[in-house]
């Protein structure tokens, strides 16, 4: 077979062929030519059955592997919790710079030290990004006030007289 066949297809085909061989090939002396020479129906049945057995073994191993992965992942979650608790206990009990803490493999996390050039570059990139996106801080946004464009139809509010109040009739 030159092409890859999926596991399910192979198992289905082998099962069909075993059933068909048992149903239609009843002469045990029959010789069927194959790449390995002439084979009897019982030898061909044995080959198909071996193939099915191997696929069943692969399925069992795959299921065991998945179960082992699930168990490992569950244990990893618990492991992180108790390892972190042990770390803090060791650091508190013996001190972060102690020999015991180093022997446990624990040391305090050191904040990353950024060089002055790297910090200046980061600030420049941040500023360039804000300008490119047009983002502003809270105070910058408060400085922006909306204005209406002047239209020729609208009367100038300063040149038109204010309406007179209407009093009750005498």
Q: What is the pLDDT of residue 149?
A: 76
Three-state DSSP at 34 gives strand
Average pLDDT, the chain: 84
Confidence check: pLDDT of 168 > 70: no
Encode pLDDT of 139-155 as tens digits. 887 887 777 777 666 55
CA atoms within 13 A on the CB side of 39: 15
How far apart (Å, rounded) are the C-alpha atoms in residues 7 and 52? Answer: 10
Encode pLDDT of 72-93 as tens digits. 999 998 999 999 999 999 989 9
How far apart (Å, rounded) are the C-alpha atoms in residues 23 and 29? Answer: 15
Q: What is the pLDDT of residue 34?
A: 84
Average pLDDT of span 132-137: 80
Q: What is the pLDDT of residue 141?
A: 78
- Contacts of residue 42, defined as CB under 8 A and 6 or more positions apart, other chains included, come to 28
With bands split at pLDDT 50, 70 and 90, how would you rate the model's confidence at 107?
confident
Count of Cβ atoms closer than 10 Å to residue 136 Cβ: 13
How far apart (Å, rounded) are the C-alpha atoms in residues 61 and 7? Answer: 14
Q: What is the pLDDT of residue 165?
A: 65
> CB of 108 within 8 A of CB of 96?
yes
Q: What φ, ψ does residue 37 adopt, rounded to 5°?
A: 110, -155
Q: Please return the burial class of 166, using the count of CB atoms within 10 Å of its CB with bins 0-12, 13-18 and 19+.
A: exposed
Question: Could you give the angle at the alpha carbon of 97 between the alpha carbons of 93 and 98, nearest 5°?
Answer: 55
């Amino acid at each position: 077979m030159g092409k890859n066949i999926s596991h399910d297809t192979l198992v289905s085909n082998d099962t069909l062929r075993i059933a068909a061989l048992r149903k239609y090939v009843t002469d045990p002396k029959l010789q069927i030519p194959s790449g390995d020479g002439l084979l009897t129906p019982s030898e061909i049945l044995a080959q198909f059955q071996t193939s099915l057995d191997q696929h069943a073994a692969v399925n069992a191993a795959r299921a065991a592997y998945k179960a082992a992965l699930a168990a490992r992942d569950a244990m990893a979650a618990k492991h992180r919790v108790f390892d972190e608790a042990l770390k803090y206990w060791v650091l508190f009990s013996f001190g972060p710079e102690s020999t015991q803490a180093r022997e446990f493999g624990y040391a305090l996390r050191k904040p990353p030290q950024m060089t002055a050039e790297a910090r200046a570059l980061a600030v420049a990139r941040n500023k360039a990004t804000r300008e490119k996106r047009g983002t502003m801080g809270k105070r910058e946004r408060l400085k922006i006030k909306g204005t209406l464009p002047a239209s020729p139809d609208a009367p100038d509010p300063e040149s038109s007289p204010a309406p007179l109040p209407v009093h009750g009739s005498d």
